[in-house]
Chain A
């Protein structure tokens, strides 16, 4: 049941409408701690380290104000998703973009995100969960989805949006 798969991964308690952290590492830790409180991960610091190791391989700042850090670790008990927003943005080193170099404002924008999805997955995640994450990745490409994420007034509204958009039909 796909609907349950979304609820399996994310709940109101792993949605942070205004992150306290303005830096990448702290934001990841903040979201990891949410997941630790929910029991999805047993060590928020270890999960943060895993996510940062992934960042070191290549930034998960995908542009468009979105970052999707992900951690694959033994410290993750079950696949889980945490979502955080921050109006003032979170500093997040991104990949250099050729046409942004000329414009310092654009260059700064490239290195800031306001939507963060932390994906925590155990070493062996089930296909159901991977499909939901794939659907999330696909949905983020669409501007209307990002706008809706930015403007949802409550955690409940975010959750409803995710359920509506990430339902996997295949």
Chain B
């Protein structure tokens, strides 16, 4: 197979010149060789001409001409030529020839070059994640950026608090003990930072560096006025868009331009966001936050089950997509208000889709292709690690039977978890955090809810799915990787 489609990334430390020269040299050499190429430039203007997951999948080979670290996870399983920008500028044709040789070798020796079904399945999970990330836009993307920066604080804080309780639930009240120290690290510091970090990195995602100060300050104010994570989200968006607006619209004389980033933007944005949080947003959002918290804490078991059903359906509906993340963010945010039951429900419901599908490949092997059966082995691990995306390759192959099945299992799991009132203090980690004392309030019951959801998922999917005609489906599954 001759080389037809190339993708490339160029990047240099200052991002002013070499990135673009390398890109141009590659484009020119490819045009001369009659090869289609798309070159993503990662320069100081930011990434431009970004390669989508589809384009990455369709490429015969990848050239990375960079003097910086470039993430390669989009290109799992592709032949990659790595070079410096200087190599690309001086000898672009040579790099393209090299890429051609690699692509031909890959095509000629499919057994060696084609990833195994196992790697293929992980790659398709990664590709699904990447394409979702690149498709994220606007406010949702900003919110998710904030959430991803916030999670480590919640994980560290939640687990440290739980560890302090391992010494007894009131042990931390005694000054000078290790329990008090753990509680101080977790509750008074890690947890105190997480809403400011959420707000700060929402604003950072919107406005880049100028957004960080107003976002974080607004986020801290949100916690102090009692507006919780909802207030933090609002502070992040106000701070970010305000900073972005200022940077874009205010043009000072050149002599004063240097003052913009160090004085004017941070002062004005922080002042405005701060005043808005204290005088405008604070009270109503505090009311909403307290109302929500009180409601969730005093919920009847009937309402708890309904909430669990809804969250479970959401977690499985798009397996890591926006609906799933909405339920997840809701549960994580509530940790700031000491509400821990939705977190337990959401994590369990996010684990059962891959687990249930993995079980289904065992109990109804005739209904899955051999690739899916092998993928099932890895799905166990992804499920146990609370990576809901592990269900995507199964769902993509047969959405109308798989998605309702996993939604059923997840809804039952989440409803059970809520009905039992199980509390979880860590926002991620799957089974791997459960052995830590006091992270989960009732481990045996929690394991039971996950097992029930897994079994239900597996049974429903086994009932709904049709037996596969092995040959036909195999062709359909392997086609993309051979293209």
- B21 adjacent to A97 (CB under 8 Å): no
- B45 adjacent to A137 (CB under 8 Å): no
Interface status of A136 (Cβ within 8 A of chain B): yes
| Contacts of A115-170 to chain B: CB distance below 8 A | 119, 121-122, 124-125, 127, 130-131, 133-142
Q: How does the 8 Å CB contact mask read for B1-36 relative to A, with 1 for contact and 0 for none? A: 000000000000110111111011100100000000
Residues of A within 8 A of B258 (CB): 122
Q: Known contacts A63-B89, A130-B43, A130-B44: does B13 contact A57 (CB below 8 Å)? A: yes
Whole-angstrom distance between the alpha carbons of A136 and B20 in the complex? 9
Whole-angstrom distance between the alpha carbons of A1 and B43 in the complex? 22
Whole-angstrom distance between the alpha carbons of A57 and B14 in the complex? 11
The dominant DSSP class at the B interface is: helix
Interface status of B90 (Cβ within 8 A of chain A): yes
Residues of B within 8 A of A119 (CB): 16-17
Minimum CB–CB distance for B472 against chain A, Å: 46
Number of inter-chain CB pairs below 8 Å? 67
Minimum CB–CB distance for A79 against chain B, Å: 10
Residue of B nearest to A117 (CB): B17
Residues of B within 8 A of A111 (CB): none
**Size class of the B contact interface (CB-based, 8 Å):** 20 to 34
* Contact segment of A14-22, A24-32, A70-78: A70-78
Residue of B nearest to A128 (CB): B45
Minimum CB–CB distance for B43 against chain A, Å: 6
Cβ-defined partner of B43 (8 Å) among A57, A70, A78, A134: A134
Residue of B nearest to A122 (CB): B258
Residues of A within 8 A of B86 (CB): 58, 62, 95
Interface status of A48 (Cβ within 8 A of chain B): no
Interface status of B145 (Cβ within 8 A of chain A): no
Interface status of A36 (Cβ within 8 A of chain B): no
Q: Could you pull out 10 A-B pairs where Cβ atoms are within 8 angstroms?
A: A62-B89, A95-B90, A97-B90, A121-B16, A131-B45, A133-B16, A134-B41, A134-B43, A138-B21, A140-B21
**Interface of B with A (CB < 8 Å)?**
13-14, 16-21, 23-25, 28, 41, 43-45, 67, 86, 89-90, 254, 258, 261
Contacts A62-B89, A137-B16 supplied; 12 other A-B pairs, CB < 8 Å: A60-B17, A62-B18, A62-B90, A119-B16, A130-B43, A134-B17, A138-B23, A138-B24, A140-B21, A141-B21, A141-B24, A142-B24
